[in-house]
Amino acid sequence: MFFKGIRSVSTDKALLSKLVRGAQKTFENAEALFREASLLREAGFLCRALFLYQISLEECAKIEILGACATGLLAGHEINLANVRGALISHARKNKTNAYFLEGSSEEEAAKEAGDVKGAVEAFSKMQGEFHRKANAAKNASLYVDFSDEEFSAPVERITPEMVAEIATLNERFLSLTFPKVEMLRMWEMSPERRSEEFVRFEKRIYELAAEHPGDPFSAMEQLLKEMLEAKREATE
């Protein structure tokens, strides 16, 4: 967990600014990695291109982690920076964070439709693990000569154009999803007090909806999203 407890003091603006700067630098690096990977791909260096695309994806995940920390900070929580650092350097944590933005498996969707909360959570957790294993295996394959089944295989023998095309498309999509979040963090930094009031209110509402929909978190989340969208619409009118 990133949070150690509830703070009774006002929002830590210095830490919020640090998180926002971190997100901005991370996005800039993710973009640079994507451009460099694309140049390598065009030049025919597919193995190293895949490696850089994967690292860019992991940088995108770091922005999600920093955004979660900023949200918690504005909601009044004390941030556990040691845990944040651990998450930022964990390949598994970053890949599993990115899995939240993939299409759900048929198993997960079926469980949701049946109202099987436990089954949906287990199906998603399984998909997270599979996504991490696939991403990490491809990353290693793009760099190292492998020895298995008494045979050596070089990266050029294991990385295919289809694999590179798939990860390049995913990387481009994640960058497009991440940029608005960095902009949103910058807006939060400009008016932290206002955002803090909103997050404290919505956090309280989460617990209220959970009590109103015991055993049905999907309905609770759907209602919360409706209320958040309505609040956003009213704020812009």
pLDDT in tens, 101-148: 998 889 988 988 888 878 988 999 999 999 999 999 999 999 999 998
Round to whole Å and give the CA distance between 137 and 207: 40
* pLDDT score, position 3: 56
Tell me which DSSP letter residue 2 carries.
Answer: -
Average pLDDT over residues 190-199: 86
Residues 55-86 have pLDDT tens digits of 999 999 999 999 999 998 998 888 889 999 99
What distances in angstroms separate CA 173 from CA 94, 124, 128, 155, 178, one per listed residue? Answer: 16, 21, 18, 25, 9
Round to whole Å and give the CA distance between 31 and 181: 14
Q: At residue 17, does pLDDT exceed 50?
A: yes
Query: Helices 46-74 and 91-98: crossing angle, nearest 10°?
Result: 80
Average pLDDT over residues 168-195: 94
122-125: long-range contacts at Cβ-Cβ below 8 A with a sequence spacing of 24 or more? 124/99
- What does the block give as tokens for 148? 């298995």
Taking a C-beta distance cutoff of 8 angstroms, is the pair 72, 2 a contact? Answer: yes
C-alpha closest to that of 62 among 104, 33, 36, 35: 33
- What does the block give as tokens for 127? 């998909």
Average pLDDT over residues 48-57: 98
* pLDDT score, position 99: 94
Query: Helices 217-236 and 192-212: crossing angle, nearest 10°?
Result: 150
pTM of the predicted protein model: 0.84
Amino acid identity for residue 120 in this structure: A
